[in-house]
Amino acid sequence: MNNHITIFDTTLRDGEQSPGYSMNRSEKLSLALQLERLGADVIEAGFPIASDGDFQTVREIGKTIKTSSVAALCRTRQEDLDRAVAALEFAAKPRVHTFIATSDIHMKYKLKLNRDQVLESAVKAVEFAKTHYDDVEFSAEDASRSDPEFLIDIFTAVIEAGATTINIPDTVGYALPWEFGELIRTMKKRIPNIQKAVISVHCHNDLGLAVANSLAAAQNGARQIECTINGIGERAGNASLEEVVMAMETRKNNMDFTTSVNTREIYPSSQLLTQITGKRVQLNKAIVGENAFAHEAGIHQHGVLNNPLCYEIMTPESVGLTSNKIVIGKHSGRFALRKKLESMGYMLSNEKLNRAYDKITRLADEKKTVNDHDLISVMSGMNDTAEK
Ligand code: KIV
Ligand code: ZN
């Protein structure tokens, strides 16, 4: 079985849709270029029916991006499809991504359509998109809360109509990894023409399980994962691209999946998004948070300074950082403090180190963390004893 996972980045669509992450045209364009450098196979550039601005932006991204496919999202309505098709006019590798909800709750309260009407609308949309472009993705919104028998029917029908990717979203982040894996396994086994399409997943993070669900899906046959930089997206966000990719990379002996992502572009991508939106990621965010490669506790610092593998399961360089961070705080030990001071040019005897250590841990108790300026000021206060 082909173990290559297509990375479909939706930072510019699902990510941008979330409060606080709106981006203008030139910001979206520069992020799209960074996503191309990162090696995203598909960049979902926007939802062209949403606004004139989004339409123009998708068009411009389509004109600019050459190696990644560019996707435009649309409902199965004709006016949506027309906008998406037009927005992709100049794209080198265009993909129409059309969706409709398939869960009973969405069909009843949102769409006010029955199953036959939803299936008919999906098939018509895919047939129409197919008259313009080869690459057509169909998503069954709220799939994880839909009747699997209806999913089999609708996916079979859209594949027959020409869909080349079928997407199974956990729209409300409700699934558990083992049941989501089972759903993907069932689709793979029971959709009769499944060999003509790629199975994709799109997991939201309402229970903090988006990455786990995406990996469980891959283990059970999904070959496209939809995700975003820093995990941004509606409500609690989408599966985080950096976590999905680095989980596969770090545990490749156990999972044996490959992606086209250049992992060294992960940190620059995260930083660019942060700069554009002004929204920082939480300190302890996996892979890209400020503390992801920082060590403060003395025992950890000692281990990492002797051999980083003691406390790091991937190298900081592998995700585009230049090094890890040894943070001096009240939990730090003398070993790390000596190394830190030596790196700043202070060579101390054991006795002087002990005195400096006492002063610095007392300062850390008051200030919580101690920066280089604090260290310099402590050392200059010990002028008689510190040789620079
Ligand atoms: O969460 C979702 O179901 C979506 C679809 C449009 C793919 O974003
Ligand atoms: Zn979504």
273 within 8 A of 230, measured Cβ to Cβ: yes
pTM, to two decimals: 0.95
Q: Using a pLDDT cut of 70, give the percent of the chain over it.
A: 98
CA of 169 to the centre of ligand 1 (A): 6
**How far are the Cα atoms of 148, 290, 328, 360 from residue 365, in angstroms, in the given order?**
57, 21, 11, 9
Amino acid at 43: I
Alpha-helical regions (H) of 42-114: 52-64, 78-87, 104-106
Structure tokens belonging to residue 56: 């123009």
Q: Which of 167, 96, 106 is nearest to 134 (CA)?
A: 96
Residues lining ligand 1, Cβ inside 6 A: 14, 99, 139, 141, 167, 169, 171, 202, 204
- Mean of the per-residue pLDDT values for the chain? 96
Give dist(CA 199, CA 158) in Å, integer. 13
Reported as half-sphere exposure (CB side, CA atoms, 13 A), residue 245 has a value of 30
Q: Tell me, what's the pLDDT at 382?
A: 86
Q: What is the pLDDT of residues 366-385, one digit of tens each?
A: 988 899 999 999 999 986 54
CA of 234 to the centre of ligand 2 (A): 6
Domains and CATH numbers, the chain: 6-277 (3.20.20.70), 298-384 (no CATH)
CA of 380 to the centre of ligand 2 (A): 55
Q: What is the pLDDT of residues 163-196, one digit of tens each?
A: 999 999 999 999 999 999 999 999 999 999 999 9
Give dist(CA 229, CA 343) in Å, integer. 34
197 within 8 A of 166, measured Cβ to Cβ: yes
Q: What is the pLDDT of residues 209-267, one digit of tens each?
A: 999 999 999 999 999 999 999 999 999 999 999 999 999 999 999 999 999 999 999 99
